[in-house]
Chain A
Amino acid sequence: MNESRFRPFLRVVGLSHSYGAGAGEVHAVKDATFSMFPGDFVALVGPSGSGKTTLLAMLGALLKPTAGRIFLNGEDIGLLPGRKLAAYRRETIGFVFQANNLVPYLTARENLQMMGMRRGAVTKEARLRADRLLEELGVAHRASALATELSGGERQRVAIARALMNEPQLVLVDEPTASLDSERGRQVVEALNAEVKARRVLGLMVTHDRAMASTADRILEMRDGVVSDQTLASVLIGDEGQQAVATKVQPSMWRGGATARRRRQLRSLLPRRRR
C-alpha cells in the first residue's frame, strides 16, 4: 500500500471544547477523533446545539480547543502563534458561511479580489483568478453585481468561489443551503463537492439537511458533542476489526452515500485481522 496516498490531510485527535466552568460547564465537543483525506467532502450532521459549529470553529482556528489536537497536513494548528492565525485562516482555510456573509457593498468580483489583496492592492493574479473562479461556479455573468443584488444561490456560489480564492487545503462550510430551496441547495452542494474533488482539498460541510448530507463522501454525526463516523460504521458492519473504533460508531444513523473508493480506503486503514 502506498502510505503517502492515504496520509490524512486532516487528523483530529481527542478534540474537546467546553464553555463555562464548574457546575455550569457545557461540553460542546467531547473527545472528537476523525481524519479526512484529499478530495474528501464530508458532511457533519446533528441537531441544533450538538456542537457542530464549535467543531467547525476549532477546525477553522476561530476557537481554541480545551483539549486535543488538530493536524492539518502534519502541522499542529494549536501550536500556531496568534499573529499567524489570520494568515492561516486566509491561506489555508476557506470559509463558506450560512448566508449573507459576503461584504454587501462589494461586487461579486471584488468579494473575491479582497482575498487576493497584498499591501492594500489587488494583484493582477488575483483579478484573473477571481474571474476564473466565478466562471467555474457559473456566476461570471454576475461578477459586477453587488452582493446585495445576487440571488441566494448566486451568493452562495460566490461565497464558495471566495473560499477557494487562496487555494485552501480545508474548506469549511456552514449550512450552505439553509436559505435556499432544495433544488438550488442541491446545485450549490454539488458545485462545492465538485470543486473539492477537482482540487483534491478537504471539504467539511455542516448541515441539518439529511438529503444534502447524503451527497457527501462521508457523514460525521454529532450528538451531544460526540462525533461518530457513520460511513466508517457502515463499512465496519460485520467486520471483526471494528473493535478499534467501536465506541464511536452508531450504525443505525447513517443512510448511505459513501463511494466504493472511499470504502476501500477506509478498509485499508483498519488493522488486519490476521497477519
Chain B
Amino acid sequence: MLGTREIRRRRLPFALITAIISLVSYLVMMVNGLGAGLKHVSGSAVLSMDADAIAYSEDSGLSVLFSEFDDETITRIVDLPGVEQAAAISYVPVNYKRADGERKPAAFFGYDPGTIGEPEVIDGRPLSYFEDDGALVDREFLDAAGLHVGDRITVTVKLTSRTFTIRGVVDEGYFFFQPVVYVLRDPVNELLHAAPPTTVPLVLQPILAGEIDPVADASSAKDIGMPPVRLPHAGEVDEVKEAEAIPSAPLPFRQKATIVLLKGDHLPGITGAGFRLVTPQVAFHHVEGVAIQEATVNALSSFGYFIGAVVVGVFFYVFTIQKVQQIGMLKAIGMTNSFIIGNMLFQVALLGAIGVGIASAFAVATAWFLARYPDAAPVLVDSRTIVLTGSFVLLTAVAGTFFSARHVMQIDPIIALGQQQ
C-alpha cells in the first residue's frame, strides 16, 4: 500500500529514480551486449558446429590459418576409437563484392553434404553433392550485403575469382569477424590452391596470361592496379615466356581440409601423429584475437557490473536512509518491521523492474538499429543478456535497500520524537 501510493503520488522524484536505474541497466546491458556481439562475430560459427571435438593439425597452434590436413591424416583421425561421425571442413578467407560494389571479407567454409559439417538451412535449399557453384550464406550476412537467395556473389582469393549462386540461408554466425558462407569443400580447396607456388613473380603473371603487352602498352600495368614495376624489355619477355613453359614444381602438400569435426565420446584431448583434438569451446578461444578480446570485454563487463552495483546499491542505501524519520514515526505508531521493510522492498523491486524494462527496450532497440549498419559496433542484446543484467540490477537494488533497511530498522523509533526536539 505505502510503496505503490508513494510512487503514484510522487511521480517526478520516482520518475528520476527510475531513469537512473534505467540508465545504469542500459549501460551494463550495452557493455554486455557488446561483449556478446564481439563473441558472436569473432567465432560463433565454431560454437555452432555440430561436433564434440575439432581436430587441428599438430603445429597449427589451434589456428585455422595454419591448420591443414592431407587425406592420410584425415583417415587416421576418422579411424580413431570412439569416433562416431566425422566431417572434413576447409576454410578460406575471401573477398566478396557487395550489392553496392564494395568489397568485403568473408569466411568460406567448405563441407561435404550429408556429414555433420553441413549447416542447417533455414531458408532456400541445401546444396547437392555436385553443386560446386552453390553457396549457403548466413542470414545476417545476407541482410548486411543486401543480397537474396538466387543472387550471385563473386569472390576473390588473391587474383582468382569465382562466382557462386546463393541457394540457401543458414544461421551459423560469424568466424574471425567475417560472415560465414558455406560451399562445397572442393571449390574451397580450389580457391585455396588458386595461387600455387611459382618462381614467376606475381606482377608478371598478367603479362604471361597475355592480358597486357608491356611493350605495346606500358600504361596497361597501371590500369589493372599493379604496383609500379620495371617492365621487362622485349628480350626479357621471351625469357619469361620460356619460364611459363617450365612446369611448376610439384606441391609438397595439397591440403584437403583445414579442420575435422568429430562426434563421439571422450575425444577432446587426444593427440596423435599430426593432429590434436579439442572441444569447440577451446577451439573458439583459440580463434585469433578472441582471447584478448574476451579478456577486454570481460574487464569492461566487470567494471560495468561493479559500477552498476555501487551506483544502484548506494543510491538505494541513501534513498532508504533519507526515510529515517518516516520509518521512526511508522515504528512509533506500531507498524511492524516486516511491514515497513516489505513495503520498501516491494517499492524498490517495482521501480527496479520498471527501470530494467525500459532499459531492456532501449537496449534491444539500439542493438536492432546498429544491426542495420554492418560496420557499426556488433552489439548483441539477447534474452540472456537482458535476464542476466536485469536480475543483477534488481538484486543489487533490493539488496542495497534490504541492508540499509535493516540498518534503519535498528534505529530506535524514539527518533520520530527526538528529531523534533
A86 near B420 (CB under 8 angstroms)? no
Contacts of B412 on A, CB cut-off 8 Å?
Answer: 62-63
A51-87 vs B: 1/0 string, CB under 8 Å? 0010011001011000000000000000000000011
Given contacts A93-B334, A114-B1, 9 further A-B contacts (CB under 8 A): A60-B332, A62-B414, A86-B335, A86-B336, A90-B333, A97-B417, A105-B5, A117-B339, A166-B334
Please give me the residue from chain B that is nearest to A90 by CB atom.
Answer: B334
- Least CB distance from A97 to B in Å reads 6
Closest chain B CB from A170 CB (angstroms): 12
Interface residues of B in 317-342 (CB under 8 A from A): 326, 329-337, 339
Contact B1 A105 (CB under 8 A): no
What are some 6 contacts across the A-B interface (CB < 8 A)?
A53-B417, A89-B331, A97-B332, A103-B326, A105-B10, A122-B1
Q: How distant is B363 from chain A, measured CB to nearest CB, in Å?
A: 32
Write the residues of chain A forming the contact surface with B, with a CB cutoff of 8 angstroms. 48, 53, 56-57, 60, 62-63, 86-91, 93, 95, 97-99, 101, 103, 105-106, 110, 114-115, 117, 120, 122, 146, 162-163, 166, 174-175
Q: Which of B1, B6, B332, B418 contacts A89 (CB 8 A)?
A: B332
Supposing A63-B414, A97-B417, A175-B420 touch, asked if A103 and B334 sit within 8 A by C-beta, the answer is no
CA–CA, A11 and B416, complex, Å: 25
- Chain A residue, CB-CB nearest to B6: A105
Could you tell me if A98 and B2 are in contact, using CB atoms closer than 8 angstroms?
A: no
Chain A residue nearest in CB terms to B331: A86
* Interface hits, B1-42 → A, CB 8 Å: 1-2, 5-6, 9-10
Closest to B421 in A: A53
Assembled-state Cα–Cα distance A136/B333 (Å) = 21
B334 engages A89 (CB within 8 Å): yes
B334, B339, B416: the one within 8 Å of A97 (CB): B416
- Cα distance A163–B1 in the bound complex, in angstroms: 19
Question: Judging by beta carbons under 8 Å apart, are B333 and A48 in contact?
Answer: no
Q: Given A48-B421, A97-B417, does the pair A117, B336 have CB atoms closer than 8 Å?
A: no
Interchain CA distance A75-B418 in the complex, whole Å: 26
| Contact residues in A for B5 (Cβ distance below 8 Å) | 105-106, 110
Residues of A within 8 A of B329 (CB): 97, 101, 103
Tell me the interface secondary structure of chain A in the complex: mixed
- Give Cα distance in the complex from A115 to B412, angstroms: 20
CB contacts (< 8 Å) of A97 on chain B: these are 329, 332, 416-417, 420
Given A62-B412, A174-B420, the answer on whether A106 and B2 have CB atoms closer than 8 Å is: yes
Instruction: For B336, list chain A residues within 8 Å (CB).
Output: 86-87
Q: Closest CB-CB distance, A42 to chain B, in whole Å?
A: 17
Hey, which bits of chain B sit against chain A, CB under 8 A?
1-2, 5-6, 9-10, 326, 329-337, 339, 412-414, 416-418, 420-421
- CA separation between A163 and B339, bound complex, in Å? 19
- CB neighbours (8 Å) of A87 from chain B are 334, 336
Residues of B with C-beta under 8 A to A105:
5-6, 9-10
**Residue from B9, B332, B416 with most neighbouring chain A CB atoms (10 Å):** B332
Inter-chain contacts of B334 with A (CB < 8 A): 86-91, 93, 115, 166
Whether B414 contacts A89 by the Cβ 8 Å rule is: no
CB neighbours of B414 from chain A (8 A): 53, 57, 62-63
Do A95 and B420 touch across chains, with their CB atoms under 8 A apart?
Answer: no
B291 to chain A, nearest CB (A): 53
B139 to chain A, nearest CB (A): 50
A66 to chain B, nearest CB (A): 14
CB distance from B340 to the nearest CB of A (A): 10
Smallest Cβ distance from A115 to chain B, in angstroms?
Answer: 7
Contact B420 A115 (CB under 8 A): no
Q: How far is the CA of A174 from the CA of B333 in the complex (A)?
A: 13
Q: Across the two chains, which residue of chain B brings its CB closest to A99?
A: B420
A175 to B329, CA, bound (A): 15
Q: Which of B9, B332, B333, B420 has the most CB of A within 10 A?
A: B333
> How near does chain B come to A236, taking the closest CB pair, in angstroms?
32
Complex CA distance for A95 and B6, rounded to whole angstroms: 22
Chain B residue numbers with a CB within 8 Å of A166 are 334
Q: Are A95 and B333 in contact (CB under 8 A)?
A: yes
In the complex, what distance in Å separates the CA atom of A98 from the CA atom of B417? 8
Known contacts A62-B412, A62-B413, A105-B6, A117 near B1 by CB under 8 Å: yes
Across the interface, B416 reaches (CB within 8 A) one of A101, A115, A117, namely: A101
Chain B residues with Cβ below 8 Å from A120 are 1, 339
CB-nearest residue of chain A to B346:
A120
Chain B proximity of A177: nearest CB distance (Å): 13
